[in-house]
Amino acid sequence: MQEKHNAKELLNKTFDALLPLLAVPLALIIGALLLLIFKVNPLTAYWSLLQGAFGSVSGLTQTIVKATPLLLVGLGVCIAFRGGIINIGGEGQLIVGALAATAIAVGFPNLPRMIILPLTFLGAILAGGVWGGIPGILKSRLGVNEILSTVMMNAIALQLSNYLLRGPLIDPAEIERGTQIAQSALLPKAVWLTKLVPQTLLHSGAIIALVMAVLVYIFLWRTSIGYRIRAVGLNPDAAKYAGIPVQFYQALSLMLGGAFAGLAGAVEVTGVSHRMLEGLSAGYGFSGIVAALFGKLHPLGSIPASILFGGFLVGGRSMQRAVQVPSALIDTILGLTVLFVVSADIWSSYRARRRLSNG
Amino acid sequence: MAELFTLPVLFGIIYSGIRLATPYLYASIGESFSQASGVLNLGVDGIMLMGAYTGFYVGMTSGSLWLGLLAAAITGLLMGLLMAVISVTLKAEQGISGIGLQLFGLGLSTLLFKLTMGGAISISGFPPVRIPLLGNIPYIGEAFFNHNLLVYFAYLLVPIANFVLNKTTLGLKIRAAGQNPQAADTLGVNITLIRYLTVSMGGLMAGIAGASLSIALINLFQENITSGMGFIAVALVYFGGWKPTGVLLGSLLFSFVNAFQLWIQVKGINIPSDFAVMMPYVLTIFALAFAVKRVSAPAALTKIFERGEN
The SS3 of residue B300 is: coil
Look at A326 and B101 and tell me if their CB atoms are within 8 Å: no
pLDDT, residue B264, reads 82
pLDDT tens column, A126-155: 999 999 999 999 999 888 888 889 989 999
Look at B282 and A156 and tell me if their CB atoms are within 8 Å: yes
B245 vs B160: CA distance, rounded Å: 11
B65 CA: distance to closest CA in chain A (Å): 25
B102 CA: distance to closest CA in chain A (Å): 7
Kindly tell me if the per-residue pLDDT of A344 is higher than 90: no
pLDDT tens column, B60-85: 999 999 999 999 999 999 999 999 99
In chain A, residues 67-96 whose CB comes closer than 8 Å to chain B: 86, 88
Look at B274 and A153 and tell me if their CB atoms are within 8 Å: no
Query: Residue A221's pLDDT band (boundaries 50, 70, 90)?
Result: very high
The SS3 of residue B295 is: coil
A250 vs A93: CA distance, rounded Å: 17
Look at A38 and B115 and tell me if their CB atoms are within 8 Å: yes
Out of B90, B95, B289, name the one closest to residue A86 (CB). B95
Handedness of CA B190, B194, B195, B197 (dihedral sign): positive
B167 vs B171: CA distance, rounded Å: 7
Contact A274, A102 (CB under 8 A): no
Query: For chain A, how many residues are written?
Result: 359
B284 CA: distance to closest CA in chain A (Å): 8
Kindly tell me if the per-residue pLDDT of B268 is higher than 90: no
Topology of domain B2-119+154-291, CATH: ABC transporter involved in vitamin B12 uptake, BtuC (1.10.3470)
Look at B285 and A88 and tell me if their CB atoms are within 8 Å: no
B250 vs B241: CA distance, rounded Å: 10
Average pLDDT of the segment spanning A161-188: 87
Q: Spell out the SS3 assignment of chain A.
A: CHHHHHHHHHHHHHHHHHHHHHHHHHHHHHHHHHHHHCCCCHHHHHHHHHHHHHCCHHHHHHHHHHHHHHHHHHHHHHHHHHCCCCCCCHHHHHHHHHHHHHHHHHHCCCCCHHHHHHHHHHHHHHHHHHHHHHHHHHHHHHCCCHHHHHHHHHHHHHHHHHHHHHCCCECHHHHHHCCCCCEECCCCHHHCCCECCCCCCCECHHHHHHHHHHHHHHHHHHCHHHHHHHHHHHCHHHHHHCCCCHHHHHHHHHHHHHHHHHHHHHHHHHHHHCCCECCCCCCHHHHHHHHHHHCCCCCCCHHHHHHHHHHHHHHHHHHHHHHCCCCHHHHHHHHHHHHHHHHHHHHHHHHHHHHHHHC
Residue A234 CA, chain-centre distance (Å), reads 22
In B37-64, alpha helices (H): 44-62
Look at B97 and A339 and tell me if their CB atoms are within 8 Å: yes
pLDDT, residue B80, reads 97
Kindly tell me if the per-residue pLDDT of B133 is higher than 90: no
A306 vs A303: CA distance, rounded Å: 5
Contact A86, A274 (CB under 8 A): no
Kindly tell me if the per-residue pLDDT of A359 is higher than 60: no
Handedness of CA A13, A17, A18, A22 (dihedral sign): positive
A310 vs A149: CA distance, rounded Å: 28
Kindly tell me if the per-residue pLDDT of A349 is higher than 90: no
For residue B220, list its beta bridge partners: B122
Q: Is A279 on the interface with B (CB under 8 A)?
A: no
Label the pairing between strands B128-130 and B146-148.
antiparallel
Kindly tell me if the per-residue pLDDT of A5 is higher than 70: no
Nearest chain B alpha carbon to A81: B96
Domain residue spans in chain A? 63-285
Kindly tell me if the per-residue pLDDT of A3 is higher than 70: no
Kindly tell me if the per-residue pLDDT of B52 is higher than 90: yes
pLDDT tens column, B183-221: 999 999 999 999 999 999 999 999 999 999 999 999 999
For residue B160, the one-letter residue type is I
pLDDT tens column, A58-96: 999 999 999 999 999 999 999 999 999 989 899 999 999
Look at B106 and A331 and tell me if their CB atoms are within 8 Å: yes
> Which distant-in-sequence residues (6+ apart) come within 8 Å of A148 by Cβ?
B231, B234, B235, B238, B284, B288
- Choose between A13 and A204: higher pLDDT: A204
Look at A144 and B275 and tell me if their CB atoms are within 8 Å: no
Size of interface A-B (CB pairs under 8 A): 141
Chain A CB contacts of B238 under 8 Å are 145, 148
B138 vs B135: CA distance, rounded Å: 8
Kindly tell me if the per-residue pLDDT of B310 is higher than 50: no
A123 CA: distance to closest CA in chain B (Å): 23
Look at A346 and B107 and tell me if their CB atoms are within 8 Å: no
Query: What are the CA-CA distances from residue A248 to residues A76, A142, A243 (Å)?
Result: 17, 13, 12
Out of A144, A167, A290, name the one closest to residue B289 (CB). A144
Out of A147, A151, A328, name the one closest to residue B111 (CB). A328
A62 vs A201: CA distance, rounded Å: 6
Out of A138, A154, A339, name the one closest to residue B104 (CB). A339
Interface test with B, best of A286, A319, A342, A353 (most B CBs within 10 A): A342
Q: Which bin fits A325, alpha (ψ -120 to 50), beta or left (φ > 0)?
A: beta
The SS3 of residue B91 is: coil
Q: Is A333 on the interface with B (CB under 8 A)?
A: yes
Q: What is the DSSP letter of B129?
A: E
Say yes or no: ipTM exceeds 0.95. no
Cβ neighbour number for residue B124 with a 10 Å cutoff: 8
